[in-house]
Structure 1
Amino acid sequence: MAKRNGSSTLSENVTKKLQSDILTGRYEPGFPLIVSELAKGFDVSVAVVREALTRLASQGLILQNPNHGFSVKTVSEEELNSIIEARLINESAALRLSIAHGDLTWESNVIAVHHKLSQTAEYEEVNQKLAVREEWSDIHRQFHFELFAACPNPVLQDICRRLWDLSEFYRHCSITQQSTRDGRAEHKALTDAVLSRDSDRAVEIFRSHIQLTADILFDNR
């Protein structure tokens, strides 16, 4: 844990670590998050952990029950479909604007982060279970954010980023069922469409890319 240079900094560090652990599948859906145990593990005060958990609850990643404390959120097909619908509306618009306004520097950044993503191992075994590597998860986030980074609307970009974490929770929940998914091919196709400035093709690939998570997780195919 970082040096104690203020409870706010400590809380931010704990928030980021817990968020990463949830999104990389280290805490399963419904897993109880005991404040005292987390405080001991992070070597911080109960107040710091409680603040971090409250932040994550406001982001929709964990549940806060007055009688039962905190727990990782559970999986809901209805919620995932709502998230996908919201991402398709907002992120498709941001992607189109980014393609329209992106310059050569933006193109170079897309190429660079895609190359890094394609060369980074996605999975590792944690406690005899398959889990997404934190390094890959961070690069994956950078890749998707870079695609709409040239969008000139900062409010739209912020909406896309907030929807991302909610969507990632479900993607990580589906990893044990993704043996037939070729994520590298999906990212390559999306990159090619973006760099060729084909907005319609890019949005079509993006739509299929994020819908596949729901199809895998809830066996809707």
Structure 2
Amino acid sequence: MAKRNGSSTLSENVTKKLQSDILAGQYEPGSPLTVSELAKGFEVSVAVVREALTRLATHGLVLQNPNHGFSVKTASEEELNNIIQARSLNESEALRLSIAYGDLTWESNVIAVHHKLSQTAEYREVNQKLAVSEEWSDIHRQFHYELIAACPNPVLLDICRRLWDLSEFYRHYPTPHQQTRDGRAEHKALMDAVLSRDSDRAVKIFRAHIQLTADNLFNNP
């Protein structure tokens, strides 16, 4: 574990490591997360681990049950559909506002982060299984954040970021079905629509883009 700089720093470090491990599939969906065992493994106090797990519960990666402690959540089609509906409503509006208010600097930032995304491998091998790359995930988040960064409503932006955290679990969830999407083409089409200031087309592409996550995971027709 990193040097002790206070319980807050330790909690942040444990949170990041646990989040990375959960998204990489190191813990099976539904498996218990025993506070005492994690504290021993991370060489930190039980309080630090409990705080980290509570944070992850707010991010939608961990379930917290007063009687049974913490566990890795499992995929729920109903929850994912609710998240997609909420993102479709809120992020679409943020995207429209960002297109309306964005300046040349914003356009340049969108182009720059898209270039990084297109040049970064999406998957890496973990325990002989393909998992979404942490580096790609970070840049992917930056890309979607940058698309709406020019939105002048900070409350709406905060809602969008919270919904993103909730959807991240499903983006990394192992899909039992063959992926049929071309993520690079989807991101390129979305960027092109945004830069051409075509709000209707951008929103249409964005909504189809996030819906494909549910379609691939739950094999929706």
Shorter-chain TM-score category?
over 0.9
**After alignment, is 184-193 or 30-39 more displaced?**
30-39
Q: Residue 23 of structure 2 corresponds to which residue in structure 1?
A: 23
**After alignment, is 101-110 or 8-17 more displaced?**
8-17
Are 1:14 and 2:17 an aligned pair?
no
Letter in 2 for 1:189: A
Give the unaligned 5+ runs of structure 2: none
Q: Residue 101 of structure 2 corresponds to which residue in structure 1?
A: 101
What secondary structure sits across from 1:207 in the alignment? helix
**After alignment, is 24-33 or 207-216 more displaced?**
24-33
Aligned partners of 2:87 and 2:163 also within 8 Å: yes
> Which string of whole-angstrom CA distances, capped at 9 and with x for unpartnered residues, describes residues 185-215 of structure 1?
1111101111111100000000000000111
Q: Residue 91 of structure 1 corresponds to which residue in structure 2?
A: 91
Q: Residue 47 of structure 2 corresponds to which residue in structure 1?
A: 47
CA shift at 1:46, angstroms? 1.6
Aligned partners of 1:25 and 1:132 also within 8 Å: no
Q: Residue 140 of structure 2 corresponds to which residue in structure 1?
A: 140
Aligned partners of 1:100 and 1:197 also within 8 Å: yes
Give the unaligned 5+ runs of structure 1: none
CA–CA distance in structure 2, aligned partners of residues 207 and 83 of structure 1:
12
> Normalising to structure 1: TM-score of the pair?
0.95
Are 1:73 and 2:64 an aligned pair?
no
CA shift at 1:35, angstroms? 1.6
Paired positions, count: 221
Moved over 6 A (4+): none
Aligned partners of 1:26 and 1:131 also within 8 Å: no
Are 1:58 and 2:53 an aligned pair?
no
CA–CA distance in structure 2, aligned partners of residues 96 and 180 of structure 1:
28
Letter in 1 for 2:209: H
Q: Residue 4 of structure 1 corresponds to which residue in structure 2?
A: 4
Letter in 2 for 1:131: A
Are 1:190 and 2:199 an aligned pair?
no
> Which string of whole-angstrom CA distances, capped at 9 and with x for unpartnered residues, describes residues 47-102 of structure 1?
10111101222333211123322111111111111000000000000000000001
CA–CA distance in structure 2, aligned partners of residues 209 and 103 of structure 1:
25
Letter in 1 for 2:81: N
**After alignment, is 56-65 or 185-194 more displaced?**
56-65
Letter in 2 for 1:70: F
**After alignment, is 190-199 or 51-60 more displaced?**
51-60
Letter in 2 for 1:80: L
Cα 1:198–1:106 change in 2 (3 A) is: same
CA–CA distance in structure 2, aligned partners of residues 199 and 140 of structure 1:
21
Letter in 2 for 1:52: A
CA–CA distance in structure 1, aligned partners of residues 167 and 10 of structure 2:
26
> Normalising to structure 2: TM-score of the pair?
0.95
What secondary structure sits across from 1:186 in the alignment? helix
